[in-house]
Structure formats: structure tokens, C-alpha cells
């Protein structure tokens, strides 16, 4: 039973990581039906920004928890700026183009950002400091759940709840839903669609940056390539949950993370990915729109 729980918490953490990144994919898809392949790279840039800021603050002698807070804020701002710019440069000019064009543009952006970071930073692995302090009360959980894992899970839940409320009740959230339902109609009733799309990219990128900093701090190392695999898995999670649906992204991430953890724990880690993708195939066969997706996908 203890082993089962240990695997559960490991899978929960991993699933939360996927979910945090998947939210960005699913939001963008909901609004403009584009799979933003550069999203993983925004996550990576968030982590790099966090590393640079944290290194600087540590040198200046800031206390532990404030480093985490400032690094998070800086990473969010910087990554949001990148997300905004990527949209303006690579997607907006292609707004009226066939659907395949922005997709190719997204892949190009992903490759560009990866190589840009590799050349401007380094291709080596870099150590990432542990920014999350060890909470005293977490001692009782021992090896089951560490402080940084707890922070990741809690942050993901908070982000997901906050985002759902935001979409439901704020003016901007309503504008987003309107844009998602029918862009032309939204324009006719006076919604600034370009602004709404930019806001979506900014929010998605911010979430990716939060994920980047927390996850890098949990794992302890980064390089320019981390966004690729995390992005692929998060995309899988988004599709699994029903792309375009926020709770779907959360659920998809958790299902994927737990499947991988239990596949490793009870079968073999050799087949971790095999089980994860078999699950994806099965769900897509029986529910083509994903777990939470409706036949007519409910966007954002």
C-alpha cells in the first residue's frame, strides 16, 4: 500500500507538471484552433529566466523564499513577452491562411527558439538551485511527497481553479469565450479579437513559465532541450483530456502522469511511454474528442 501511494504521489506530481503546460496548449487551441508547438520552448525560456534571476539574487544574498517569488515573477513577465512576440511574429500574419500554415510556422518557431537558447546560453546541462524551501510539516510524509512536489501540485490546482473562474466571470474571460465560439460574431459585437488572442498567449505563456521554474527547481537541472519532451507530453495530455477544454487538460495531465508512474512501478519503465501512448490511442478510439471533450468541442 505504501508503494502504491508513493507511486501515486510521484504520478500526481508528474501529472501536475504535464497539466500546467497542457493548459497553455489547450487555451490557444480553444481560441484560434492552432497547436502552438512553440509552447514547450516558452516553458524552457521561463526556466532559463528563473535560473538567471535566481543566480543573480543568490549572489546578492536575498533570503530563500523571496528568491523563488522574484524568480517566478521575472520568469512570468519574460516568458509572457516571448509568448506575445511569437504570436505577433509567427501567427498573426497567418491568421487568414490555411490551417496548416500557422502549424508549420509554430514548428519553425519551436526550432528557432531552441537553437537561439542553445547558442546564446549553452548546450550543456545546467544545475538549477532548489528554490522551494523544505517545509517542516512535510517531514511526516517522508519519501512520499517532498515540499517541492507539494508546491507543484498545489500550484497546478490553484492555477486551474483560478483560470476556470477567470474564464467564467471576468470581462476578458467572457470575451475569450465569445472569440472561441465565433470570431467574426465577436468582432461584430465590438470585441477586440486581436487583444483577446494576445491575452490568451500571455496567460498561457505565464503558466508555462510558472511550471518551468517550479519543475526545474524540483528536478534540479535544465538545458535548452527540456521544452521539447515536456511539450510533447503536455500536448498528449491536452489531447487525452480533450483539447480546448481546461478541466480536460488538468485531467489529461493527471491521467497521463499516473499511467506512467504505475506502468513504471508495476510493469517496467522500459514500457512507460508504450503504456502512455496506448492509453492515448484507446481513448481516442472510444472518445475521439478526448475524455472531457464534447462532440462539438467546448473551447476554452
Partner 1 sequence: MREIVKRILLAAALVAMLAPSALAGGKLLLGVAGAHSGDLASYGLPTVNAAKLVADKINAAGGVNGMTVEVVAEDDQCKPELATNAATKLLSDGVKIVLGHICSGATKAALPIYLDGEMVVMSPSATNPPLTQSGEYPNFFRTISSDDAQASLDVAYAKTLGLKKLAVIHDKGDYGKGFATFAKQFLDADPSMDVVLFEGVTPGAVDYSAVVQKIKSAGADGVVFGGYHPEASKIVMAMRKKGLDIPFISDDGVKDDTFIKVAGQYAEGVYASGPKDFSKNPLFIEAVAAHKAKFGTDPGAFFPEAYSAALALLNAVKVAGGTDYAKVCEALRTSFVDTPVGKIKFDAKGDAEGVGFSIYQVKGGKYVQVQ
Binding site for partner 1 (CB under 8 A): 3, 6-7, 10-11, 13-14, 17-18, 124-127, 142-143, 146, 215, 218-221, 223, 225-226, 228-230, 233, 260-261, 264-265, 268-270, 272-273
User: Nearest CA to 42 among 174, 239, 200?
Assistant: 200
Query: Can you tell me the distance from the alpha carbon of 33 to that of 249, in angstroms, rounded to the nearest whole number?
Result: 15
| Closest distance of CB 176 from partner 1, Å | 29
Backbone angles phi, psi at 124, to 5 degrees: -75, 165
DSSP 3-state of 177: helix
| Closest distance of CB 57 from partner 1, Å | 18
Q: What is the 3-state secondary structure (H, E, C) of 109-120?
A: HHHHHHHHHHHH
* 197 vs 237, beta carbon nearer partner 1: 237
* 150 vs 196, beta carbon nearer partner 1: 150
| Closest distance of CB 297 from partner 1, Å | 27
* 104 vs 154, beta carbon nearer partner 1: 154
| Closest distance of CB 125 from partner 1, Å | 5
The C-alpha cell that represents 12 in the structure block: 500526481
Query: Can you tell me the distance from the alpha carbon of 77 to that of 80, in angstroms, rounded to the nearest whole number?
Result: 5
Residue 222: strand pairing partners:
126
Contact 223, 90 (CB under 8 A): no
* 16 vs 105, beta carbon nearer partner 1: 16
Contact 13, 152 (CB under 8 A): yes
* 87 vs 260, beta carbon nearer partner 1: 260
User: Nearest CA to 228 among 15, 11, 42?
Assistant: 42
DSSP 3-state of 287: coil
* 202 vs 240, beta carbon nearer partner 1: 240
Q: What is the 3-state secondary structure (H, E, C) of 266-282?
A: HHCHHHHHHHHHHHHHH
| Closest distance of CB 117 from partner 1, Å | 16
| Closest distance of CB 66 from partner 1, Å | 22
* 21 vs 191, beta carbon nearer partner 1: 21
* E strand or H helix that includes residue 90: none
| Closest distance of CB 180 from partner 1, Å | 29
Query: Can you tell me the distance from the alpha carbon of 131 to that of 114, in angstroms, rounded to the nearest whole number?
Result: 24
The C-alpha cell that represents 127 in the structure block: 544545475
| Closest distance of CB 210 from partner 1, Å | 15
The C-alpha cell that represents 221 in the structure block: 537541472
* 125 vs 182, beta carbon nearer partner 1: 125
Amino acid at each position: 500500500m505504501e508503494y502504491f501511494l508513493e507511486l501515486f504521489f510521484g504520478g500526481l506530481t508528474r501529472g501536475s507538471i504535464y497539466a500546467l503546460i497542457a493548459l497553455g496548449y489547450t487555451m490557444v487551441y480553444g481560441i484560434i484552433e492552432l497547436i502552438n508547438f512553440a509552447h514547450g520552448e516558452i516553458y524552457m525560456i521561463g526556466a532559463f529566466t528563473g535560473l538567471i534571476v535566481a543566480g543573480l539574487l543568490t549572489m546578492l544574498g536575498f533570503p530563500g523564499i523571496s528568491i523563488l517569488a522574484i524568480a517566478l515573477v521575472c520568469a512570468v513577465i519574460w516568458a509572457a513577452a516571448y509568448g506575445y512576440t511569437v504570436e505577433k511574429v509567427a501567427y498573426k500574419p497567418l491568421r487568414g491562411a490555411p490551417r496548416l500554415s500557422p502549424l508549420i510556422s509554430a514548428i519553425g518557431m519551436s526550432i528557432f527558439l531552441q537553437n537561439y537558447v542553445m547558442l546564446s546560453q549553452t548546450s550543456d546541462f545546467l544545475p538549477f538551485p532548489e528554490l522551494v524551501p523544505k517545509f517542516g510539516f512535510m517531514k511526516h510524509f517522508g519519501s512520499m511527497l517532498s515540499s517541492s512536489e507539494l508546491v507543484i501540485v498545489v500550484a497546478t490546482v490553484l492555477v486551474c481553479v483560478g483560470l476556470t473562474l477567470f474564464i467564467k466571470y471576468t470581462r476578458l474571460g467572457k470575451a475569450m469565450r465569445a472569440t472561441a465560439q465565433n470570431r467574426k460574431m465577436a468582432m461584430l459585437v465590438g470585441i477586440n479579437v486581436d487583444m483577446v488572442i494576445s491575452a490568451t498567449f500571455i496567460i498561457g505563456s505565464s503558466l508555462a513559465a510558472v511550471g518551468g521554474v517550479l519543475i526545474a527547481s524540483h528536478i534540479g537541472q535544465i538545458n535548452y532541450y527540456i521544452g521539447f519532451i515536456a511539450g510533447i507530453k503536455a500536448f498528449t495530455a491536452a489531447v487525452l483530456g480533450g483539447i480546448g477544454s481546461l478541466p480536460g487538460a488538468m485531467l489529461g495531465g493527471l491521467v497521463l502522469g499516473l499511467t506512467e508512474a504505475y506502468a513504471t512501478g508495476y510493469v517496467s519503465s522500459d514500457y512507460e511511454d508504450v503504456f502512455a501512448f496506448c492509453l492515448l490511442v484507446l481513448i481516442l478510439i472510444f472518445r475521439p474528442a478526448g475524455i472531457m471533450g464534447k462532440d462539438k468541442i467546448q473551447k476554452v
